[in-house]
Amino acid sequence: MLTAEYPSLWRRLLALLYDLVVITALLFVAGFIGIIFTGGEAVQSGNIAFQLWLSLVPAGYFALSWRKAGQTMGMRSWRLRIVSADGADMRWATIGRRLISGALLGLPLIGFLGCLYQAQRQSWQDTLGGTLTVLLPKD
C-alpha cells in the first residue's frame, strides 16, 4: 500500500475546472475538424458519428494524460497524480475502468462524494477504477 497524502474534494474540483478549460478548447478544434469533413457546412443535428467523435475527445485527453504522466494539466497545476492502487504503472485496462466509472459517476459529480466519506479521501471513480489520487509534495 502506498503511503501518501490525499487531496481534498476542493482541490479535485478545482483541477477538474482547469481541465474543463482545456477540454473546451479541444472540443472547438474537434468541431472544426468535423466541419472540414462536411465541406464547410454545418454538421447535421443528430449525427451519431460526430457525437461519438466529440465524446472521444475528452476521453482521449484523460486517457493519454493519465497514461503518460498520471496527470492532466489541471491535476499538474494542483499537484494531483493518479496512480494504480497496487503501485504499478497505469495500464490501459485500469485507465479504461476509471474512465467508464468516471463517465457514469463523475459527470454529475456524484463520484466525488466518496471523497467526503472514505478514509483516504478517494472518489468512487478511484475505488471502482482501482486507482488512488495522491497529493504530490511541494517542490
Domain ranges of the chain: 9-135
Cα(98)–Cα(94) distance, rounded to whole angstroms? 6
pLDDT at residue 17, rounded to an integer: 95
pLDDT at residue 2, rounded to an integer: 47
Record the cell numbers describing residue 114, joined without a space.
Answer: 466518496
Low-confidence ranges of the chain (pLDDT < 70): 1-3, 106-108
Query: In DSSP terms, which residues pair with 84 in a beta bridge?
Result: 131
Please, what sign has the CA dihedral across residues 11, 16, 18, 19?
positive
Q: Would you call 63 exposed, middle or buried from its count of C-beta atoms within 10 A (0-12, 13-18, 19+)? A: middle
Tell me if 133 sits within 8 A of 122, measured CB to CB. yes
Tell me if 134 sits within 8 A of 83, measured CB to CB. yes
| pTM of the model as a whole | 0.88
pLDDT at residue 1, rounded to an integer: 43
pLDDT at residue 93, rounded to an integer: 93
Q: From the centroid of its chain, how far is CA 14? A: 13
